[in-house]
Amino acid sequence: MTYHRTDLNGAAVGVGVSDKPDGLAKIEMPGCAATIWRRQLAPEFQAWINTLDPSHLPKARLVLRPQAVPDALSHLCNMAGMDEGAERTWLEDDISDLATRFAEMMRAPYLRLRLDAINTNACRKFHIDALYARLICTYRGTGTQYGVSRDGLDPDRVFTVATGAPIVMRGTLWPQNPPSGLLHRSPPIAGTGETRLVLVLDPIFDIEEDV
């Protein structure tokens, strides 16, 4: 695990970068505002997902137990008209694996799973999410952008997470002092013709409170 650190309010704010999936769990380390699993998707998969008609990309907003994710994904891909094959199987397996890992990291019995096919400037303003933590993985298109804000304004330096690399970020409900100042946004892509496929996972600790 390596860290990119920025001094903020006398504290070191770190973004941990690991070449192994277990490195995502380092989000619990003091001063670690986000963790990234640095990986590159297989060229065959990337070429397939990049050229897939956007109408065949799965879309969903669900709250479910982690063990229910595989069946849900299969249903979503069928609804989107996605052809069966090795690449679709890998996508379903990878999302299921990330869901299991994230739920275990957060010790959360449920997850909110969101799959979006985005071709607009959705969430283009830098912000921090009003929740405990969030995992984002962009399978197609430009990845999430992030940076540290010292004064509540947009970050001076903006970094872009690589396509296919999952990032876990603390939200405002994470017990931390002082706040990390780490902000993120969706990259502005309106008018470029680009369509992103983005997975978002949020931990749900009490299903009744989330209703």
Of the two residues 82 and 30, the one the predictor is more confident about is 82
Q: How many residues does the chain have?
A: 211
Nearest Cα to Cα of residue 186 among 117, 126, 140: 126
pLDDT tens profile 78-115 = 999 999 999 999 999 999 999 999 999 999 999 999 99
Q: What is the structure's pLDDT at 8?
A: 40
> Can you tell me the distance from the alpha carbon of 115 to that of 207, in angstroms, rounded to the nearest whole number?
20
Percent of the chain, pLDDT > 70? 91
Tokens describing residue 40: 């590159």
83-90, Cβ contacts within 8 angstroms, sequence gap of 24 or more: 83/56, 85/48, 86/44, 87/44, 87/45, 87/48, 87/49, 90/42, 90/45
Inform me whether the pLDDT recorded for 11 exceeds 60: no
pLDDT at 180: 74
User: pLDDT category, 209, cuts 50, 70, 90?
Assistant: low
Instruction: Name the pTM for this structure.
Output: 0.91
Please determine, for residue 13, whether its predicted confidence score (pLDDT) is greater than 90.
no
Q: What is the DSSP letter of 141?
A: S
Q: Report the chain's mean pLDDT, rounded to a whole number.
A: 89
pLDDT digits (tens, 9 = 90+) for 71-84: 999 999 999 999 99
